[in-house]
Every structure is written in C-alpha cells, then in structure tokens.
Amino acid sequence: MAPPQPTPAPMPLVFGPASALLLVDVQNDFADAAGSLHVAGGEDLPPLLNALIGDARRSGALVAYTQDWHPEHTPHFAADGGAWPVHCVKGTWGAALHPALVVAGPIVRKGSNGEDGYSGFSMRDPGTGVTVPTGLEELLHRHAVRQLVIAGLATDYCVLATGLDAVALGFETAIVVDGVRAVDLAAGDGERALERLVSAGVTLVEATGA
C-alpha cells in the first residue's frame, strides 16, 4: 500500500463576491459541551467563525448555514436502528444554532422527513435509498456562487459529505481547517476526512492569520 500522503499546508483564506461561506451544523447538540452529540472543541468555534462571517460579509460573499433538523424518531437514531444518539430534534434547544454564532444569512435544514442528512446538499431516505436535494445548490446558484468555503461540524460526517457533494456539483471548494472539529469515533477519522476531501479536489484554507 502507498504510504499516506501528508495533507498539504493550508492556504490563506480570501473571499470574493462569487464566494459563499457555509457554516455546517453549528448547533447546540454538537457545539455545546452539554449537547447530546458534543463534538470535542466545537464550543471553541464561534469566535473564529464570527470573524470569518465578518470577513465574508465585507467581501460581498453570501453567508449561509445548515441545520441538522430531525424528527423525534428516525432510522438515523440508535433507538430506531441507526447510528446516533438522539440529537438536533426540530424545535429543541439541541437543534438551535449555537447562541454565540452570528446569523447573517439563510439557513438550510436537512433531515426533516427522517432522512439521513449528512450533506448540506442532499438527503437520503434510509428506507427507500432515494436521495433528494435540500435547496442549497439552488440557493448558491441564485447568488451566482462559484467558490464555496466550508467550516463547522463535524469534519468526518457533515463537513465531509457537504464538501464531496460541493466538488461533484462543480463548486471550487475550500475547507477551513481551523474552523472544523471531528467526532473521531475512530482516532484519525478527522484527518482521513481531510485527506479524502483533498483527493476529491478540495483546497484546505486557514482562518488564522487571514
């Protein structure tokens, strides 16, 4: 087997009028230490993300958000045969965006009908396997977005799925390496997710020092 390639050094982050900043699932259940699916370090993200949101707005870039938005019962949850503790149930504290995060643009919800909504772009019905779009692609096209900059939670699930879809849909896609955190169910999952994203054509960028 080929030795693992180190991920390339991140580049500085620059926004323009054809870019959008997408904040993925910065919700209490992931980003608050009391959340039911707390991602370690998620609570550290809002100040850095707010600085990015300010940069994006000053550059005329769109700022958009995704929100994991589940019914009380879904095959996405362990109690109903899935993988995860109950989290981000629509309308609950856990599903709300972290209160420290500045909200300065549209929010795209995913999973409302019980789908596995890992990607911000599409949802897969776990029963039928059918995939339906969320409206994010249409939103980005309506704003003439060509470059998508992604930060948020979690690196190894929703950020990964959203980044892979973004590249496949033809967006020039960047991930903010210091603006994401991983679940790391297995040690190294976050790093491997970044490697997969780079192999797919994603650029790694850094918020600090930008």
What is the contact surface with ligand VGL in residues (CB under 6 A)?
A: 25, 30, 68, 84, 153-154, 157-158
Are the beta carbons of 162 and 66 closer than 8 angstroms? yes
Q: Closest CB to Zn ion belongs to which residue?
A: 68
Shorter beta-carbon distance to Zn ion: residue 30 or 171: 30
At residue 136, φ and ψ (nearest 5 deg) are -65, -45
Shorter beta-carbon distance to ligand VGL: residue 105 or 120: 120
Residue recorded with tokens 């977005």: 145
Q: Is 88 a catalytic residue?
A: no
Element (H, E) at 153: strand 147-153
Encoded tokens for 41: 């370090």
Residue recorded with tokens 């019905």: 125
At residue 14, φ and ψ (nearest 5 deg) are -130, 130
Cβ of residue 9: shortest distance to ligand VGL, in angstroms? Answer: 25
Contacted entry of Zn ion, ligand VGL, none for residue 139, CB cut-off 5 to 8 Å set by kind: none
> How is the beta sheet containing 107-110 ordered, strand by strand?
11-12, 203-206, 172-181, 147-153, 19-24, 62-68, 107-110
> Interface with Zn ion by CB under 5 A: which range of 54-62, 67-75, 131-139, 168-176?
67-75
Q: Is 68 a catalytic residue?
A: no
Per-residue mark of binding to Zn ion, 69-108 (x: CB under 5 A):
----------------------------------------
Contact flag: residue 29 with Zn ion (CB under 5 A): no
Contacted entry of ligand VGL, Zn ion, none for residue 165, CB cut-off 5 to 8 Å set by kind: none
Contact flag: residue 25 with Zn ion (CB under 5 A): no
Which residues, 178 to 197, sit near Zn ion by CB under 5 A?
Answer: none
Judge if the upstream peptide bond of residue 187 is cis by omega within 30 degrees of 0. Answer: no
> CA dihedral defined by 149, 152, 155, 158, rounded to 10 degrees?
-90
Binding residues for Zn ion (CB under 5 A) = 68
| Catalytic residue ranges | 25, 110, 158
